[in-house]
Amino acid sequence: MMNAGCMIAIARLLKAGIRTKRFFCREDGSAAIEAALLFPILMTLLMGMVDIGDAILTNQKVISGSQVSADLLARKSTASSSEIDSAVEAARLALMPFPTDSFGIDIASIQFDSSGAPVILWRETRNMSPNDVAVDSTSAIGAPGEGVLVVTVQYRFEPMFSGRVIGSFTMQEVAFVRGRKSPTITRV
């Protein structure tokens, strides 16, 4: 036989078990808990989408910068220092509204010798290393005496939100253009 104290203890445990069951079966705060669990994930996705959008937009601006600069210089048969400065400024302005402190440009006017090898007539490089790979890649595209203008724009992009995680990375675009009025573009 059970004594009265044991019966009271069993009754209290059963009553506590019913309360615990009711506590875990209640659905009053489930929406708030789900929102609290999903909010950081959704914010991470949103910030990642913003960074990806900025990266795509910046890459398009780097492409535009190289093409605009190449097009401005290919319009004439000669290029003066002020025209080169204007083409560099046009490429830099193509990157606006992004900061342009990491903007770099390499402009090389090339003529092909009698064997078809590229020879650099003149080169203007600012805030980056010369892109010799792009110049060497022109060896098979021109006949002797012809020329090509190679414009490389480089930009170091740092994502707004994920920059601390993945760091910055370099975007580079090369534009190849032939002169419109002459086979080569000389510098005066």
- Per-residue model confidence (pLDDT) at position 174: 97
3-state secondary structure of 153: strand
- Per-residue model confidence (pLDDT) at position 26: 63
pTM here is 0.79
What is the DSSP track for 72-141? HHHTSSEE-HHHHHHHHHHHHHHTTTS--TT-EEEEEEEEE-TTS-EEEEEEEEESS---HHHHHTTTTS
Please report, for residues 28, 31, 34, 92, the alpha-carbon distance to residue 38 in angstroms, rounded to integers and kept in the order given: 18, 10, 6, 41
- Residues paired with 104 in a beta bridge: 154
In this structure, what DSSP letter does residue 150 have? E
Query: Which pLDDT tens digit goes with each residue over 116-168?
Result: 899 999 999 999 999 999 999 998 788 898 999 999 999 999 998 877 788 88
Q: Where are the domains of the chain?
A: 35-187
